[in-house]
Amino acid sequence: MAVNLLLGLQWGDEGKGKIVDVLTKNYDIIARFQGGPNAGHTLIFDGNKHVLHTIPSGIFHENTKNVVGNGVVIDPVIFKKELENLDQHDVNYTDKLLISRKAHIILPTHRLLDAASETSKGKAKIGSTLKGIGPTYMDKTGRNGIRVGDLELDNWKEKYNALTAKHIKMLDFFDVQIEYNLEELEAEFCEGIDKLKTLEFIDSEEYLNNAIKEKKTILAEGAQGSLLDIDFGTYPYVTSSNTTAAGACTGLGIAPNRIGDVFGIFKAYTTRVGSGPFPTELFDEDGETMGRVGHEFGATTGRPRRCGWLDLVALKYAIQVNGVTQLMMMKADVLSGFSKIKVCTSYNYKGEEIAHLPYNIEPVNVSVNYTEFKGWKADLTKMTSKEELPENLMQYIEFIEKETGVPVKIVSVGPDRKQTILR
Ligand code: GDP
Ligand code: IMO
Ligand code: MG
């Protein structure tokens, strides 16, 4: 049985959590493959809103296993809070939440290093969520990290103490002062570790490949978006993992020839939170309207998201890098009421009109060309079938399909699980 992937094609927050939740009924296993608590995946159903950071978005379904893969980085403190939220909603996770022994652990000092690095960068800061993601992946690739499997060994505390001591020395290298109380941080960290240890640790690559042999269905859940990928994103304004399809292979131990469909999620417009180039960003009333109507505030940090029109140049790039087979358009409802809808179809770059993503898309290098569509007035949020969708929206969707060569299979018309139209 093939493993299907679901990933974001823009700068994150496309609505991955919502769609994983919608699709979970078709799968035996949902597996997160990268990122950590920098992610915020929102699910809304039965009048409740849930935001998941590390836990896969299939957790609310009775019969689905949820795997936190080896590519994920876990902060035990945040993880414990996520579990406590599930407790409040009487979600029984003990039998269905499985943690890879090879997943790396975010230490309190990783968060401090993240803060020191960002503060010292001043205006050039990445706009990190400050969850310690960069420093943890640095320790992973630097071969210094602590993994979940280490918690089963007697000497993990020694490893922890040695790494923490090194981090504290490293803090001195930054020309900024970070206030912290290590004792307090360690107390909550230890509580988090104790909670984490109540869950089942697995050799996740073995578990998933056995599941494939047993013809179980698996959906791999991405975090962040393709333009935040460490290799293919708008470097250095990216996250520290491979958010693209290849990240699912390394983040779960699944071979490329096991991948089936790749579901690419995008908003009908574009948002970005944090620093970095964003060619179609709007600084006018249209951008303000998108932010207001779309409630564009980060699910993890609460920061306002920057808003702009859909960028087809960037979208095609993401589709190519990921091998997307089906598209899912999110937040179409937010565009209702705009008299004109614009979509970026080419860039001006070094005096030439180009239709591919160049090395550097900073505003000094790139300006955008738009194709315009007529807007629609109808409220989409109560619509339940594709026949109800306004003609002008259909023209917009069909243009995207023609340009990308990939069908748009889902149109999302509101944040609730039920506000999802299949095409
Ligand atoms: P993720 O990180 O990709 O899972 O996305 P986030 O949860 O960070 O951000 C998506 C936001 O849009 C959340 O607040 C969702 O509840 C909301 N959302 C998802 N789909 C739709 C939609 O079709 N319409 C509207 N209006 N909101 C949506
Ligand atoms: P989900 O999974 C949107 C952004 C941060 C910052 C950059 C680096 O909810 O889509 P990091 O904390 O990784 O060092 O931050 O990446 N970022 C996200 N933006 N959605 C996310 O996740 C993000 N995770 C990180 O804002 O610009
Ligand atoms: Mg999010």
Q: What residue owns the CA closest to ligand 2's atom 6?
A: 128
Cis omega (within 30 of 0) for bond into 390:
no
Contacts of 338 (CB under 8 A, 6+ apart): 286, 289, 375
Other CB atoms within 10 Å distance of the CB of residue 77: 20
Give the relative orientation of helices 182-196 and 108-121 as an angle to the nearest 10 degrees. Answer: 130
Atom of ligand 2 nearest to the CA of 40: 9
Mutate which of 239, 267, 272 for ligand 2? The one with the most ligand atoms within 8 Å of its CB, which is 239
Place of tokens 């109808």: 378
DSSP letter at 303? P
pTM: 0.97
Interval between CA 14 and ligand 1 midpoint (Å): 6
How many Å apart are CA 98 and CA 205, to the nearest integer?
12
> What's the gap in Å between 250 CA and the centre of ligand 1?
27
Which residues form the pocket of ligand 1, taking CB atoms under 6 Å from any ligand atom? 8, 12-18, 39-42, 44, 294-295, 299, 330-331, 333-334, 412-415
Determine the 3-state secondary structure of 175 from DSSP. coil
pLDDT tens track, the chain, 423 positions: 799 999 999 999 999 999 999 999 999 999 999 999 999 999 999 999 999 999 999 999 999 999 999 999 999 999 999 999 999 999 999 999 999 999 999 999 999 999 999 999 999 999 999 999 999 999 999 999 999 999 999 999 999 999 999 999 999 999 899 999 999 999 999 999 999 999 999 999 999 999 999 999 999 999 999 999 999 999 999 999 999 999 999 999 999 999 999 999 999 999 999 999 999 999 999 999 999 999 999 888 899 999 999 999 999 999 999 999 999 999 999 999 999 999 999 999 999 999 999 999 999 999 999 999 999 999 999 999 999 999 999 999 999 999 999 999 999 999 999 999 999
For residue 228, the ligand closest to its alpha carbon is 2
Give the residue numbers marked as catalytic: 13, 41
Beta pairing class for 218-225 and 29-32: parallel
Reduced DSSP (H G I as helix, E B as strand, rest coil) percent helix, strand, coil of the chain, to 5 = 35, 25, 40
Q: Compute, in angstroms, the gap from residue 103 CA to the centroid of ligand 1.
A: 27
pLDDT at 15: 98
- Is-contact 322 7, C-beta < 8 A? yes
Q: Relative to the CA of 12, which ligand 2 atom is closest?
A: 10
* Spatial CB neighbours of 288, under 8 Å, sequence gap ≥ 6: 282, 307
CB 225 within 8 A of CB 12: yes
Task: List residues near ligand 2 (CB under 6 A).
Answer: 8, 11-13, 35, 38-41, 126-129, 131, 133-134, 223-225, 228, 239, 273-274, 299
> So what's the pLDDT on residue 26?
97
